[in-house]
C-alpha cells in the first residue's frame, strides 16, 4: 500500500520493441490486499485463489480498494494503434473471492478485463469510478472465457460509474 507504481515506456507489442503494460503482475496468491496506490499501467492478477495455505485461512483471494489508476498523459497515442488496448485491471486463469471497490480508473481503453480459463467465483466490483474509457474498439468491462469447464458464479457489479471518453469511442459498454 501507499505506492506510486508506473510501468516504463509506452506499451508496444511489435517484433522490434517490447514493453510490458504491467505496473504489477502476480500469480497464485491468497489474502492479497492492494490499496492506496497510484498506478500507470495494468495490475494483472493470475490465479487469485482462496483457501488455507501454510496453516492460514484467507477470507479472500484479492481485495483491491482505494487506488488511483491513470493511463499515460496522452493515452490517445495507444488508441491510434489498432492492435493495442490498455487495461487497468486484468484477471486471468481463475478468480475466486475477489473484491474490487472504491477505485478511480481514468484514461484506459478498458477498466476491467477477464481472460479466464477456469472460471470466476464470488467476484464483486462495486463503488468504482471509471471515466474517460474507450478507443481501439475497447469495452469498458470485458470477459473472455476459454475452456470447456469455464464457469461464472456469484458475479456482482453494483454502484459503479462507467463513462466513455467522448473523443475516443468505445466499441462496447460491458461484455460478459
What local confidence, expressed as pLDDT, does residue 129 receive?
94
CA gap 41, 138 in Å, rounded: 16
pTM: 0.83
HSE value, Cβ hemisphere, 13 Å, CA-based, for 89: 28
Kindly state the greatest CA–CA separation across the chain: 51
Distance CA 124, CA 19 (A): 30
Q: How confident is the model at residue 15 (pLDDT cuts 50, 70, 90)?
A: very low
Residue 80: pLDDT band with limits 50, 70, 90: very low
Please report the pLDDT score of residue 33 as a whole number: 93
H/E run at residue 118? strand 110-126
β-bridge pairing 38-40 and 161-164: unpaired
Q: Is the pLDDT of residue 104 over 60?
A: yes
pLDDT band per the 50, 70, 90 thresholds, residue 120: confident
Strand spans (E) along 14-53: 22-29, 32-35, 38-40, 42-48, 52-53
Cα-Cα-Cα-Cα dihedral sign, residues 2, 125, 42, 32: positive
Classify 78 as helix, strand or coil. helix
Amino acid at each position: 500500500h501507499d505506492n506510486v507504481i508506473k510501468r516504463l515506456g509506452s506499451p508496444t507489442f511489435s517484433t522490434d520493441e517490447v514493453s510490458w503494460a504491467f505496473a504489477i503482475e502476480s500469480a497464485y496468491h491468497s489474502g492479497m490486499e492492494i490499496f492506496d496506490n497510484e498506478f500507470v499501467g495494468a495490475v494483472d492478477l493470475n490465479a487469485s485463489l482462496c483457501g488455507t495455505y501454510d496453516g492460514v485461512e484467507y477470507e479472500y483471494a484479492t481485495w483491491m480498494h482505494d487506488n488511483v489508476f491513470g493511463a499515460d498523459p496522452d493515452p490517445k497515442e495507444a488508441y491510434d494503434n489498432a492492435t493495442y488496448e490498455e487495461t487497468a485491471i486484468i484477471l486471468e486463469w481463475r478468480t475466486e473471492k475477489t473484491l474490487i471497490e472504491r477505485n478511480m480508473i481514468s484514461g484506459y481503453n478498458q477498466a476491467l478485463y477477464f481472460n479466464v480459463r477456469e472460471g470466476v467465483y464470488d467476484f464483486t466490483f462495486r463503488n468504482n469510478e471509471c471515466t474517460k474509457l474507450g478507443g481501439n474498439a475497447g469495452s469498458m468491462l470485458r470477459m473472455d472465457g476459454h475452456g470447456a469447464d469455464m464457469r461464472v458464479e456469484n458475479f456482482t457489479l453494483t454502484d459503479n460509474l462507467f463513462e466513455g471518453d467522448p473523443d475516443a469511442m468505445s466499441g462496447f459498454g460491458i461484455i460478459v
